Amino acid sequence: QVQLVESGGGLVQAGGSLRLSCATSGRTFSSYTMGWFRQAPGKEREFVAANVWSGGITYFTYYSDSVKGRFTISRDNAKNTVYLQMNSPKPEDTAVYYCAASSGSNYSRLSASYGYWGQGTQVTVSS
């Protein structure tokens, strides 16, 4: 069983920066597809970013158009942790952010493709 625990959320000013962390318990973390999703009040959960193992030490990253160029997903396999660096956040980035994991090595923007989820962490961006 894989457990995910997010941290690092909070209040940040627009144009600032914030880093979210997601610690996992999986023994094969390095091969998991790791994703970040978010859900704003009254809206559906949406894809933010994914980090996908491509074999060996190669990983590919993917982003939604709304965060591309501002957010960066990365992982530290030695710490079984994935990060979301949020630079220049905007008020519209305000949401609960969820870390997700899939034991497969396929890229997906669909939340149904991820079998493991964290509890979520609130990010509020003030203008």
Exposure string for 11-27, b = 16+ CB within 10 A, e = fewer: ebeeeeebebbbbbebe
Tens digit of each residue's pLDDT (9 = 90 or more) over 65-89: 999 999 999 999 999 999 999 999 9
Rounded average pLDDT over 44-67: 95
Contact call for residues 100 and 34 (beta carbons, < 8 A): yes
Burial of 33 (0-12, 13-18, 19+ CB in 10 A): buried
Q: What is the pLDDT of residue 116?
A: 95
Sheet containing strand 17-24, strands side by side: 4-7, 17-24, 81-87, 71-76
| Mean pLDDT across the chain | 95
pLDDT class of 55 with cuts at 50, 70, 90: confident
Q: What is the pLDDT of residue 11?
A: 98
Q: Which of these ranges, 31-35, 53-57, 92-96, 115-119, has the smallest mean pLDDT?
A: 53-57
Rounded average pLDDT over 96-112: 93
